[in-house]
Amino acid sequence: MARVDFVDAAFNGPESTQARESYAPPPPRDPPKAPYTTYHGPPSEFDRTLRKASAVALAILLYSAAIPFHPVSWFLNVNGAFFVDSLCAGIVLLCACYFQWRIAGLGHALAITLPVGSSGPQIRNGRIDRDAPASSTVFIWQSAHYWPYAICEAVLLGLAEFGPSEYLRRSVVIGVIAGLWLVGWHATPRSYKQWAWGHIKSLWFWMILNELLSVGRPSVGRRARRY
C-alpha cells in the first residue's frame, strides 16, 4: 500500500493521495417504507351519545321507508314467498335496526370478513378436529367513518321514503339492510347472537304452528258444505 501511494504521489502529486484518503463512500439509502394505515382513536363520550341518538333516528327512518317489507316476494312472485316473508322479513328488519344501534356504539376498528371456504379435518392427539372456516377480509370499518356513512344512509333513506319510484325504494332498502347486516353482524358479540337465535327459533315454532292450524280453519265468508 505504501508503494502504491509512493507511485501515485510521484506521478500525480501529493494532492491525489490526500483526496483519495479523504474520500468517503455515500451513505446507504433508506429502505422504502411499507404502506401503513392510520387508525383513529375512540370517539369521545359526547360523540358516542350523538351517534346513538342518530342511530335511533336512522332506525325509525329505515323502518318507515322499508314498510311494506317483502323482500322474497319482490324477487319471487309466488304464493309461498309471502309465507317466507311472514317468517323472516320482520326479523331481518328488526335485526337491522338493532345493528344500526350497535354500529353507532363502536369505538374501535373492526375487520369485516367473509368466509371463503371450509377447511378439512385435522388429526390432533388422536382426535379428528375441524379447523375454523377460512375467511377473507373485505374491508376495515373505522369508527371515524360513522358520520359520513350515516349522512349517506339518511340521504338514501330519504329518497326511498319520499321518492316517487317504488323500485328505488326497494333497491335502497335492500342495500341499506344488507350493509347493516354485514357490519353489524361482526360488531355483535357471539353470546348476543346465540341468545337471539334461541328466541327466534321459539318464535318460528309458534308461527309455523299457527299457520298449520289456520290451513284447516274455515275462512270468513266461506259457504259451509251441505251433507
User: pLDDT for 20-79, tens place per residue?
Assistant: 555 556 666 766 665 555 556 677 888 888 999 999 999 999 999 998 888 888 888 777
Give residue 206's domain range: 45-116+133-215
Whether pLDDT at 225 is above 60 = no
Whether pLDDT at 130 is above 50 = yes
Give domain status of residue 4, yes or no.
no
Give domain status of residue 72, yes or no.
yes
Give domain status of residue 222, yes or no.
no
Whether pLDDT at 226 is above 50 = no
For residue 151 the three cell numbers come to: 349522512
Give domain status of residue 90, yes or no.
yes
Give domain status of residue 221, yes or no.
no
Q: Give every CB contact of residue 96 below 8 A, 6+ residues apart in sequence.
A: 62, 176, 177, 180, 181, 184
pTM for the whole thing? 0.68
Give domain status of residue 124, yes or no.
no
- Helix (H) / strand (E) element for 111: namely strand 110-117
Q: d(Cα 71, Cα 93) in Å, to the nearest integer?
A: 10
Give domain status of residue 20, yes or no.
no
Q: Give every CB contact of residue 75 below 8 A, 6+ residues apart in sequence.
A: 81
Contact 61, 157 (CB under 8 A): yes
Give domain status of residue 150, yes or no.
yes
Q: d(Cα 5, Cα 14) in Å, to the nearest integer?
A: 9
- How many domains does one find in the chain? 1
